[in-house]
Amino acid sequence: MDWSVVWQYRDALVEGLAYTLGISAFAIVASFLLGVALACLRLAGVDLIKDVIDGYVEIVRNIPLIVKLFFLYYIAGLDAFPAGLLAMTIHQSGYITDVITAGFRSIHPEQAESGYSQGLTRLQILIFALLPQAAQISLPPLTSQFIEVVKNSAVVMFVGVQELTFKTQEISQMTLRSFEAAVVATVLYVALTLAIAKGMNMLGRRLSWA
Amino acid sequence: MSDVGRVMRRSAAFRIAFWTLVLIGGCWLARDFRWSVVWLAAPFLLRGLVVSWELAVISVLIGFVTGAVLAAGRLYGYFGIRHAAIAYIELIRSVPQIMIIFWIFFSVPALTGVVLNAWPAALIALSMIASAYLAEVVRAGLMSVPKVHRDSAYASGLGAVDTFLRIVLPQALRNMLPALIAHVVMIFKVTSLVYLIGLVDFFRATILVNNRDYAPNALYLTMAIVYFCCNFALSSLIKRFDPKYTLAA
């Protein structure tokens, strides 16, 4: 083993980590917003919209991420970076839609009914009564979805986005030190995962309003 | 319900008509793709699909057995065994699946000098992934059986082994079935990542055909449809076993 390789290529590893962080952060925020919007539409919307969203979720959940990525990159003709961001956002939004829907489903219908009897509009009920409760209930499954985003961000290496796994492979090809490179990447991924779990845990304690 | 809602109220005839129109529209848009390429390459693609299914099924079988051992270790093991099981499960679950394939195919050979072919390396990596995820499924299944059942079995004079095999396990198996199928879907999707090490599964087979007779529209659409059909068939099983089950990995 020769750990000097890691120090020698520290810039590459830091750059890869920065890409992984950036892609993951974007995909987490975007897929969360898209997922919440779709879940609300599915809850409150017209039946046809509900059908279309059901179809979207089924299609998204049953096709591997790498297939979506190649679709966006080779057929839609996007550049590598936007294709990666979009593919990851679409991929995770399907799962998050289902997580939020399950959160809505666990709320008693009386919550909405008492909102009606108070004269609130549908939108007000959604924003002030249902969403806060659903957010709290879906926090643990959302945590694993966000961790899933970080893990899936490795897939975008296949179109040439230079994130952590890409850099690891590059270093191992240049130096033939794949063990050392993989150890460092693994430690970094575990640290990222633990950080998300810890952060969501703290957020959960902050959000204990209901 | 809004006015639009009343107009579009769910009726079977309307929904069938709508989705038929969508389907016809899709076919019309795809009419000029070079489907002959797909048709001529079909035997090769099918062989790739068989490789994907073999990888998924074998690794789920191996992963279920080793996952059950890991779950038992995590739940009932002594100090060292329990912590080793937790460390293994959490490590595999918090690292990208590509990294694990990378470990088995590149890193372990670099360290030990034992060189693996693509097929055994892919199988080992996928089995390791499956074992960690399925260990959690098995653990949740075992924990879903109320402790009272075990206590009552002991009280009626059953031994530890009989209690586990006849009382806990049958109930746990039934409870874990939906999550188990959901993870088969997950593993089937993960098989597409063996692209990294050059194994010709369904995904790489499609890419290879596209590299030879450039027809990305038809080929990638076929790929998406085939993956969708395989996984949709699997996930429909979940709904059959548990209509309330909505969350998957």
Q: What does the pLDDT profile of chain A (210 residues) look like in tens digits?
A: 788 888 888 899 999 999 999 999 999 999 999 999 999 998 876 778 888 899 999 999 999 999 999 999 998 989 999 999 999 999 999 999 999 999 998 888 888 889 889 999 888 888 888 888 888 889 989 999 999 999 999 999 999 999 999 999 999 888 888 888 899 999 999 999 999 999 999 988 887 754
- C-beta atoms of B94 and A194 within 8 A: yes
* Facing residue for B217 by CB, picked from A75, A152, A182: A75
Cα distance from A207 to chain B (closest Cα, Å)? Answer: 23
Give the DSSP H or E segment for B211: helix B202-212
Q: Residue A112 and residue A115: Cα distance in Å, rounded? A: 5
Secondary-structure percent of chain A, ordered helix, strand, coil, rounded to 5: 85, 0, 15
> What CATH fold (topology level) applies to the domain B37-241?
MetI-like fold (1.10.3720)
Structure tokens at B113: 């000098």
Provide the pLDDT for residue A6: 85
Amino acid of residue B101: I
Average pLDDT of span B59-67: 95
Query: At residue B4, does pLDDT exceed 50?
Result: no
ipTM of the complex: 0.88
Q: Which of 69-108 (B) contact A at CB < 8 A?
A: 91, 94-99, 102-103, 106-108
Q: Give the residue carrying structure tokens 């975007």.
A: A30
- Cβ pairs bridging A and B (under 8 Å): 131
- Interacting residues of B47 by C-beta distance below 8 A, sequence separation 6+: B200, B205
- C-beta atoms of B235 and A157 within 8 A: no
pLDDT in tens, A117-148: 999 988 888 888 888 888 888 998 999 999 99
Check which CATH number belongs to the domain holding A72 and give it: 1.10.3720.10
Q: Inform me whether the C-beta atom of residue B228 falls under 8 Å from chain A C-beta atoms.
A: yes
Note the helical H segments in B94-168: 97-102, 108-112, 118-143, 147-155, 160-162
Burial (CB count within 10 angstroms: exposed 0-12, middle 13-18, buried 19+), residue B112: exposed
Q: What residues in A contact B193, CB-CB < 8 Å? A: 64, 66, 155
Q: Inform me whether the C-beta atom of residue B140 falls under 8 Å from chain A C-beta atoms.
A: no
Q: Residue B141 and residue B121: Cα distance in Å, rounded? A: 30
- Report the C-alpha dihedral over residues B186, B189, B192, B196, rounded to 10 degrees: -40
Q: Residue A178 and residue A168: Cα distance in Å, rounded? A: 8
Domain count for chain A, please give it.
Answer: 1
Span between the terminal Cα atoms of chain A, in Å:
53
* Facing residue for A47 by CB, picked from B8, B94, B192: B8
Query: At residue B43, does pLDDT exceed 60?
Result: yes
Provide the pLDDT for residue A209: 58
pTM to 2 decimals? 0.88
Q: Give the residue carrying structure tokens 């918090």.
A: B94
- What is chain B's mean pLDDT, rounded? 88
Going from N- to C-terminal start, the domains of chain B cover 1-31, 37-241
Amino acid of residue B228: F
Average pLDDT of span B198-222: 92
Q: Give the residue carrying structure tokens 């929904």.
A: B15
- C-beta atoms of A189 and B9 within 8 A: no
Q: Could you list the residue range(s) of the whole structural domain that residue A68 is in?
A: 4-206
- Report the C-alpha dihedral over residues B159, B162, B166, B172, rounded to 10 degrees: 80
Q: What residues in A contact B18, CB-CB < 8 Å? A: 48, 51
Give the DSSP H or E segment for A175: helix A164-175
Q: Give the residue carrying structure tokens 């633990």.
A: A194
Phi, psi of B133 (to 5 degrees): -70, -40
